[in-house]
Structure 1
């Protein structure tokens, strides 16, 4: 049995099944009740918990090894490599306070490099507030786009800016950017810090440091975009993801 639900009940019911259950924990720690039941399952059934990244797993207390890190994967055929980007940056994700979009807007204002924003506006008041604060910056909101439309914009950008103010379990947008050959500049926080190869496929900067983001933008010419695509192909293809899951399932089965 495979459990993909980030919910208390499946973990609680685990001891009642004779069939092994593999639990993919899809988010970071959010509540004491879930933390406690997840820790109990890890102690009673070692090796049955899978996490996306070490940073995600570290948010949970008292997890008993072994811990399996499964990462994530995408269909690379949907993402086209671009070697010659335009002078523009991208920000991609849910528009809500924990995603820290205002920091990317500050980068656009300081560098005067156009910022393409893509994603669903989840918090309208937040969006209105930061948009009006930076309305004179070179920013453009493109809406929530299909994968095809999104990658057409993303691949032509010099970099993807990630500004999480919380611990991302993984960060799918990182590997979407890498698949297009786009380096990623992110705070050293959560899943992105476990994915980006600092100085090779992007840059990691001190959390909440807009100055660090700006400094990284000025170093983008040091990144080989082909290295970004290569990382996506070798670490985040569906085939590689399938192999990781198969090995994990086999270990859970015994």
Structure 2
């Protein structure tokens, strides 16, 4: 079977911090995985990212274009009804000035930033802009704009999970591509012993206080990895449990994080909002670590309760504690197997490639993307 011709793709990074800093959260890992996966499929990749970004491991063939400017404020901690904001000397317009220049000679431009500007540009520029939406409906103006643009250009949007996509008013079935990881970078650890773990940006919507309460109730330690986005919140959480319950580990690259995380007997995942996916859940399972999580948003599509961990009703602390005591019933090998079968780098890159190709073809002949994408 003849391989389709390679695509010339421009990838536009999140404007919330340079790649490698951790400030961009799970989007950074998504970009790293997809960039490597698309390279392995033979595509030509140009990556436009904030100044100071570093190329992911295994991506030496990428043309990195760095843009100076002030970080874009994230939507996570802003009011739902708030306006779109661009700070003075912001990096966001610079990223898109370069992306549009490069996109004129590319087959497609793939946007990873959850921002108003690139989506607004979609119907107003010649380059084909595709958007991998990284969050749920955390903003009224973003919900409205995505719904509006998707009416005439449904193929330009893809989502990580069906639960995430349900936050938006879409007239067609959403294109869901999941997420993927370079599983060779995660070492399976078979020991069911060790402390409890929690990974994520330390801010209120991530619900760290509930995981800390579980550890306190079980007289256990909770290792916490991630950027402390809200120091005042972190202090409140630490003061809510006995001294020594929380051990702040900091932010580490995957190579270090996976070794430490893999030594945990369970990951506790406690989102207070509708997570789009849940990268840390798959990272834990790739190491063989069962996950106990609230059945809210993306995690509810990733965890098979009783097989790879336990799902409990959102905000039910008693059930969260009870489920954590049952993680020894989970076969850690099955956690790793789920990751291999559902969230590999190869699977993810192939689905994104299919999305882009089908979108280009559908628009060329006037058909809907659902006729090409499954």
For the aligned pair, the TM-score class normalised by the smaller chain equals over 0.9
1:93 is the counterpart of 2:200: yes
Structure 2 equivalent of residue 251 of structure 1? 358
- The answer on whether the counterparts of 1:188 and 1:205 sit within 8 Å (CA) in structure 2 is yes
Q: Cα deviations across residues 62-82 of structure 1 (Å, max 9, x unaligned)? A: 212131111111111111001
Partner of 2:280: 173
Residue of structure 2 in register with 1:29 after alignment = 137
- Runs of 4+ in structure 1 off by over 6 angstroms are none
Paired residue for 1:70? 177
Counterpart CA distance in 1 for 2:188 and 2:323 is 22
Structure 1: gaps of 5 or more residues = none
How far is the alpha carbon of 1:19 from its aligned partner?
A: 5.3
User: Which one is further off, 132-141 or 150-159?
Assistant: 132-141
CA distance in 2, matches of 1:86, 1:34: 43
178-187 or 2-11, which deviates more: 2-11
The verdict on how the C-alpha distance between 1:133 and 1:15 changes in structure 2, with shifts beyond 3 A counting, is closer
Q: How does 1:228-247 map to 2 (within 5 A)?
A: 228-247=335-354
- The one of 1, 16, 26 equivalent to 2:124 is 16
Q: CA RMSD in A?
A: 1.6
Asked if 1:198 corresponds to 2:342, the answer is: no
Deviations 1:132-163 (A, max 9, x none): 22133633222222322211111111110001
Q: Kindly state the Cα deviation for residue 195 of structure 1 after the two structures are TM-superposed.
A: 0.9
Task: Identify if the C-alpha distance between structure 1 residues 13 and 104 changes in structure 2 by more than 3 Å, giving closer, same or farther.
Answer: same
- Structure 2, unmatched stretches of 5+, are 1-107, 362-374
1:5 matches 2:113? yes
Q: Tell me the residue number matched to 1:151.
A: 258
Tell me the TM-score normalized by structure 2.
Answer: 0.65
CA deviations over 1:159-201 (Å, ceiling 9, x no partner): 1000111111111101100110111110011111111111111
User: What is the TM-score when the length of structure 1 is the normalising length?
Assistant: 0.94
8 A contact 2:197–2:266 mirrored in 1: yes
Structure ranking higher on relative contact order (CA contacts 8 Å, 6+ apart): 1
Are residues 131 and 45 of structure 1, via their aligned partners in 2, closer, same or farther at CA, if it must alter by over 3 Å?
Answer: same
Separation in structure 2 between the aligned mates of residue 175 and residue 65 of structure 1, nearest angstrom = 28
Cα distance in 1, alignment partners of residues 145 and 203 from structure 2: 29
Distance 2:245 2:153 in 1: 52
How many residues are paired up? 253
Question: Residue 158 of structure 2 corresponds to which residue in structure 1?
Answer: 50
State the Cα distance separating 1:100 from its structure 2 match: 0.8
1:107: which partner in 2?
Answer: 214
